[in-house]
Chains A and B, each alone.
Chain A
Amino acid sequence: MVTVNEIKILGKSEKELLKISRDYLLALNLEEMKKIQGYFAKKGRNPTDVELETIAQTWSEHCVHKTFKGIINTPDGEINGLLKTFIMKATEELNMPWCKVVFKDNAGIVEFDDNFDIAMKVETHNHPTALDPYGGAGTGSGGVFRDVMGVGAKPILSTDVLFFGPLDYPFEKLPRGAMHPKRLMKGSVAGIRDYGNKMGIPTANGGIGFDEGYVGNPLVYAGCVGIIPKNKYIKNPRPGDAILLVGGRTGRDGIHGVTFASLELTAESEKTSSGAVQIGNPIVEKKVLDGLLRARDAHEKPLYSAVTDCGGGGLSSAAGEMGKDIGIEVNLEKVPLKYAGLEPWEIWISEAQERMLLAVPQKNVEEILKIFENENCEATVIGRFTGDKKLVLRYKGRVVADLDMDFVHEGIPRVVRKAKWRRPKYPEPDFPDKDDLTEDLKAILKSPNVASKEWVIRQYDHEVQAKTVIKPLQGIKCDGPGDACVLKPVADSWKGIVVSNGINPKYSIDPYNMVLSAIDEAIRNNVCCGGRRIAILDNFSWGNPEREDNLGQLVEACKACYDGAIAFKTPFISGKDSLYNEYDTGKGEKVSIPPTLLISAIGIIPDVRKAVTMDVKEVGNPIYIIGETKDELGGSHYYFIHGFKGNRVPTVDLKKAKKSFDALIKAMDKDLVRACHDCSEGGIGVAATEMAFAGELGMRIYLEKVPTSGLERNDKILFSESNSRFLVEIKRGKEKEFEKIMKGNVFAKIGEVTGDKKLVVVGLNGKIVEENVLELKKVWKSTFDW
């Protein structure tokens, strides 16, 4: 028996309103509840459950980014919206002509060439993964693919960055209700593998990290790149157009996903919110994609006037978003269901997967239905766009919701929050330098954050579509860790897309410099393979922003986003925030994850035949370093293996960095560079080792030749994680040409490729590392030799 309930909010006290918000899992605060109460008081009636749920979805942190759009009071003054003040501001000021669609659709769009544009989006799927790693991570991929499809693009790359607690974390210490990190990792990898592989979207880029801060709350970032012919992007629904729902059926899975995402995880989450996790089916989504591309390309103009993804908030968000300027009416009984018995409000907000909404001019409806029928893909007209700026929902003729679009989309009160953060002080390590650092190097190589992820990478199909020209595993044995992947998306063009990431939560002791480091890392990884004209995407995973210190860190991070984007001339084109990443230990203690920001970078390379990989190629070639090595080991892996955090995290010289990156690209274009690898976790030591064992050749480097800020300890020079640094192998005989191009930047020749398969590091007073590269590779591979 289907029912629509009236929810009595008129005349209720503040306490009662908050209870209603809690009882219905609405995640609305008091001010928002009061605003809704006022709206309905004017209407002279109580809301239906459908109406209240609609507003809760639309106003959720997940959907409207309250914190990023809100007013923040800091000790240094008021910030009128983080997004507007920092992130979007950088994009506006840079005003790059190649940025086509930024911050307003499902994905950001930049120009590729005269015929195509590229779209990119990165999402988080942290909370669902905590409850169900396979389903949560898999539908994270499915969701971000639909975001790219939601601008009409064909997905051509999947990227995933994951963070878990330590793999050897003792079971008895796990917070109540949390799964073990190893189980979370294996489940997530399997979920991503099955979704991407089955849809035929190569997963050719990503990363996995471990930190105790994620024990109760893992992170799953899923990203997607797509390609779309120019002039095929359209977002213009008109009154009278049909609302066409395509793809999967609607069920009880994924109810309250977005409001769940806006609350902390607790030991009870599994009981209260398991229904918030969606159940994925990649083949259904593949059929949607096949139909969508044919509807797009059947004629010169797409058969639809708009398309969007049904993601967080389900139909409520998708239809609401698409129709907010004109109004819609939907007949909920027309929505195809997985099984009978759903209440109208459940139909409306279910986040069941693999569904997309299209706006279709009436004259095209018949043709588009035929296209989807040929794909064995269900497609149903469920309503129409009206023109009266109202949201009207019916169920078997009865009106179950009647709201003004303006109120639903503009009515939300702006949050006002306080931010205040003071830098913590950690003990500075005071252990002595050693004469032999070989064991320290091995300990870093073995550390799960640095160790080979081949076990994971090989389970992801990174070659389907045959566009992947620079793969994640590089070198003579196809096992070296690449810095970025390069795609050649168009058969008859040499132009390529370069995709990379930057992230390091160990630097979160200083959020401003952590973010600059992430930006620098993402861009230098891109540059390593030859990428340029780079756009970036931000993805915040943070603790509860209602806490002053969490928000204070967020403000620091956003300032760095602006400074970094401006300095590197890399506009933000899209972003996402997942806040409320906190875990209730069950003992009344709430633990936030470390503030974490993923920067994804998407660049282009005019000719993929000029792309560079990280494996050394030829005996006798000189090795250069670019960039200055400083006393910046705060949050470094070297300190980590010795049990310290330190304080001085790597900074970025915003004036020098871009200049040296540009020079390096110039050298690549002149075919001078045979290999290039960035120095990140483990510094020069790890970068040199990886380059050598990927090429299965030896390397000899001299630390006295490394340009430093006056460093006098071998360990610091070898393992400092200073930003903006690369190791490059230059063609023998081309040194002069290379040095001429690099003039005016900090760089030096520090060694050469040798034929003895030995890594030799000569310190300030003699050899400090000497080991066979195959032995080092074995150590590096041993951690995930599953």
Chain B
Amino acid sequence: MEVRTIVLRVDGTNCDEETVISFKKAGSTVDLAHVNELIRKEKSLEDYQVLCIPGGFTYGDDIAAGKIFAILLKYKLSKDIKKFVEEGKLVIGICNGFQVLVKTGLLPALEGIMKKQEATLAFNDCGYFQDRWIYLKHENKGKCVFTKGIKDIIHIPVNHAEGKFVADRDVIRRLEKNDQVVFKYVDPDGNYAGFPWTPNGSMDNIAGICNPEGNVFGLMPHPEKFIHKWTHPYWTRLPGSSDVGDGFAIFKNAVEFAKKKL
């Protein structure tokens, strides 16, 4: 069955091209659409099984990262998005997309879909935008559709200024209890560690989370930046290593799941 993915862009989206390439490589048909096309009903979410909000600086990250786009989605498209999520279809937000999902209340959605904002992504502790490759430990025990069977530790980059995951202690306890924590930052040996391994100062080293049902997933690092070996920062030292980058599994999982179940 054909899997159809919609990559949703708006003013300031800028990782759309590589995200489209990643989903195509994973076997999906991909539509890159401006949110205006959904608002004007020229396109409909009903026609897709996967919705992706890629990275960027939507509306310049004015007010706070992803905030304006989140408000736009909430007030113009909340009905359609809610239905999409309720049907078990897949939503992934990467970097700015993650910030948007958190600020719409699509993640972690402990109290229900888009009910309220329960966490945030605050400015990096180091005070600056950071571009660096980090290690992520896969912490999910099986709920998150996007990371089933993924390697224990993956190596991909972060490229953000506002990536510090912050929430009430109680929220974080519930995330752990519900198996909603997906990735945590670790050092190369797999131990939880501070800067630079956790590049932003996230609480409990959290890098990515999913909703209670596991079909909505967001993360600050960029899996679409590492779908083939040659974007690795020191591939010239690794002759004979796999041609496939660590980030690709996330796209592949999404498309395979959609093919079988949606």
Contact = CB atoms under 8 A, between A and B. Distances in A.
29 contacts: A193-B129, A198-B14, A198-B61, A283-B11, A283-B12, A283-B60, A286-B11, A287-B11, A287-B12, A290-B9, A374-B36, A374-B37, A375-B11, A458-B128, A458-B132, A459-B129, A461-B129, A461-B159, A462-B131, A463-B222, A463-B225, A463-B231, A466-B224, A469-B231, A478-B132, A478-B234, A488-B230, A608-B230, A609-B230
Interface stretch (A557-565, A610-618, A708-716): A610-618
Interface residues of A, number: 43
Nearest to B225: A466
A462 B158 CA distance: 11
A676 to B, nearest CB: 10
Contacts of B17: 465-466
A462 B34 CA distance: 25
B241 interface: no
B97 to A, nearest CB: 14
Given A463-B157, A463-B225, A469-B235, 9 more contacts: A200-B57, A283-B11, A458-B128, A466-B17, A470-B236, A474-B233, A475-B234, A613-B234, A613-B237
A459 B159 contact: no
Nearest to B95: A464
A460 interface: yes
Interface string A444-476: 000000000000011111111110111101111
B14 A464 contact: yes
Contact of B14 (A200, A608, A615): A200
A362 interface: no
A460 B131 CA distance: 7
B61 to A, nearest CB: 8
B59 interface: yes
A478 B14 contact: no
A272 interface: no
A383 B165 CA distance: 51
Nearest to B21: A491
Contact of B133 (A460, A478, A612, A617): A478
A350 interface: no
Contacts of A469: 230-231, 235
Contacts of A465: 14-15, 17-18
Interface string B213-240: 0000000001011010011011111000
Interface string B10-41: 01101101100100000000000010110000
- The 6 A-B residue pairs whose C-beta atoms are closest, nearest first, are A200-B14, A466-B18, A198-B57, A283-B60, A613-B236, A283-B12
Contact of B234 (A198, A468, A491, A615): A615
B237 A461 contact: no
B56 interface: yes
Nearest to B227: A466
Interface string B140-169: 000000000000000001010100000000
A473 B60 contact: no
Nearest to B61: A198
A613 B236 CA distance: 7
Secondary structure dominating the interface of B: mixed
A491 B18 CA distance: 9
B130 interface: yes
A476 B234 contact: yes
A783 interface: no
B34, B61, B230, B236 — most chain A CB neighbours (10 Å) = B236
A281 interface: yes
A198 B12 contact: yes
Interface in A577-620: 608-609, 611-613, 615, 617
A197 interface: yes
A464 B159 contact: yes
A751 B45 CA distance: 63
A282 interface: yes
Chain B residues touching A, range:
35 or more
B10 to A, nearest CB: 8
Secondary structure dominating the interface of A: loop
Contacts of A695: 237
Contact of A282 (B9, B60, B161, B225): B60
B157 A199 contact: no
B61, B161, B224, B231 — most chain A CB neighbours (10 Å) = B231
B14, B15, B224 — most chain A CB neighbours (10 Å) = B14
A459 B14 CA distance: 17
B231 A466 contact: yes
Contacts of B56: 200
Interface in A195-225: 197-200
Given A466-B225, A617-B237, A459 B36 contact: no
A5 interface: no
Contacts of A282: 57, 60
A459 B131 contact: yes
A197, A458, A466, A491 — most chain B CB neighbours (10 Å) = A466
A231 interface: no
Contacts of B57: 197-198, 200, 282-283
Given A197-B57, A463-B131, A468-B231, A611 B14 contact: no
Contacts of A287: 11-12
A491 to B, nearest CB: 5
A376 interface: yes
Nearest to B235: A469
A199 B236 contact: no
Contacts of A290: 9
Contacts of A488: 230
Given A283-B12, A471-B233, A463 B59 contact: no
Nearest to A462: B131
Interface in B103-150: 128-133
A612 B236 contact: yes
A198 B60 contact: yes
Contacts of A197: 57, 129, 159, 161
A303 B131 CA distance: 37
A464 B18 CA distance: 8
Contacts of A466: 15, 17-18, 21, 224-225, 227, 231
Contacts of A461: 129, 131, 159
B130 to A, nearest CB: 6
Given A463-B225, A488-B230, A200 B15 contact: yes
Contacts of A615: 234, 236-237
A283, A608, A612 — most chain B CB neighbours (10 Å) = A283
Contacts of B225: 463, 466
A613 to B, nearest CB: 4
B200 to A, nearest CB: 13
Contacts of A617: 236-237
A374 B43 CA distance: 13
Nearest to A469: B230
A283 B57 CA distance: 8
Interface string A146-161: 0000000000000000
A130 B224 CA distance: 39
Contacts of A463: 131, 157, 159, 222, 225, 231
A457 B233 CA distance: 14
A465 B14 CA distance: 8
Contacts of B233: 471, 473-474, 478
B7 to A, nearest CB: 13
A374 B56 CA distance: 18
Contact of A459 (B11, B34, B128): B128
Contacts of B11: 283, 286-287, 375-376
Nearest to A287: B11
A770 to B, nearest CB: 26
A272 to B, nearest CB: 31
Contacts of A283: 11-12, 57, 59-60
A695 B161 CA distance: 29
Contacts of A468: 231
Contacts of B231: 463, 466, 468-469
Contacts of A462: 131
A72 B161 CA distance: 51
